[in-house]
């Protein structure tokens, strides 16, 4: 199997271009990131070209983090900001040939938030489709992100159906899904046609996938059996230096 290093959590002590090089040296097959916008896209593109790695995806801006924002696209009365963040993400993704953009919903609830999110997703999908970019939505668990608009895979699947865009997909993060719903293997089977990217971390501590309550050897085999061929995203918080937490990687690549 193939794996992607999420550089939002791994090698965070390094500038993004150097983190890309570290991921290559460690044996990862691809990379992904959270919010790369303070780094010149030309530097990121150069590091990707040098290493031969693909940047699988990035997130739209969270907004004003100091004021409590964690995404903008489901926030009523902030559509202009949400769409500016979508445009920013698409431009950056195009510059570095990234395949996916995670459009972050934000802290909001209710019918008005739902309607705003649907319209912003339609906007994102229409802008991204001609460029071959997929839009991802990701349910976040209510322990780490209480009040986040999108919390379950059922809610995400309904949104994907309502928006009706062929390039809108589910980001299935095993960590979040386990905390909210469990039953990972069946969820993966049920949602496989809607999944655009899969991420993972141990539960409950969000560490490397070699401990905790999830048997990732088994989960990875289920994913392989479903024919999912894209690299899986290692989005975990290393306990110590990243390189010291990678004992799982070579074994998992042999699955």
- Is 213 designated active site? no
Helices 216-225, 184-191: crossing angle, 10 deg rounding = 20
- Is 235 designated active site? yes
**Options 81, 138, 154, 244, the catalytic residue:** 138
* 47 contact partners, CB below 8 Å, separation of at least 6: 16, 17, 18, 20, 21
**Options 32, 50, 213, 235, the catalytic residue:** 235
What does the alpha-carbon distance between residue 102 and residue 120 come to, in Å, rounded to a whole number?
12
Helix H, strand E, coil C: the string for the chain is CCEEEECCCCCCCCCHHHHHHHHHHHCCCEEECCCCCCCCHHHHHHHHHHHCCCECEEECCCCCHHHCCCECCCCCCCHHHHHHHHHHHHHHHHHHCCCEEECCECECCCHHHHHHHHHHHHHHHHHHHHHCCEEEECCCCCCCCCCECCCCHHHHHHHHHHHCCCCEEEEEEHHHHHHHCCCHHHHHHHHCCCEEEEEECCCCCCCCCCCCCCCHHHHHHHHHHCCCCCCEEECCCCCCCHHHHCHHHHHHHCC
Residues tagged active-site = 138, 235
């Amino acid at each position: 199997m193939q794996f992607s290093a999420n550089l939002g959590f791994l090698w965070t002590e390094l500038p993004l271009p150097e983190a890309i090089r570290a991921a290559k040296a460690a044996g990862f097959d691809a990379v992904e990131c959270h919010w790369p916008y303070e780094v010149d896209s030309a530097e990121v593109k150069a590091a990707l070209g040098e290493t031969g790695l693909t940047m699988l995806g990035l997130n739209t801006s969270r907004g004003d983090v100091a004021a409590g924002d964690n995404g903008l696209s489901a926030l009523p009365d902030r559509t202009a900001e949400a769409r500016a963040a979508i445009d920013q993400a698409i431009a950056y993704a195009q510059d570095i040939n990234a395949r996916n953009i995670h459009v972050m919903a934000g802290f909001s609830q209710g019918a008005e938030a739902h309607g705003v999110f649907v319209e912003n997703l339609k906007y994102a999908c229409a802008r991204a489709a001609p460029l071959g970019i997929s839009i991802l939505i990701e349910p976040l668990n209510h322990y780490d992100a209480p009040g986040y608009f999108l919390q379950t895979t059922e809610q995400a699947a309904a949104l994907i159906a309502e928006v009706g865009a062929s390039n809108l997909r589910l980001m299935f993060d095993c960590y979040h899904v386990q905390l909210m719903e469990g039953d990972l293997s069946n969820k993966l089977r049920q949602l496989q046609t809607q999944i655009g990217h899969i991420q993972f971390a141990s539960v409950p501590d969000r560490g490397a996938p070699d401990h905790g309550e999830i048997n990732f050897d088994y989960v990875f085999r289920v994913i392989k059996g479903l024919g999912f061929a894209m690299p899986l995203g290692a989005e975990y918080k290393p306990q110590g230096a990243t390189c010291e937490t990678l004992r799982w990687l070579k074994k998992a690549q042999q699955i």
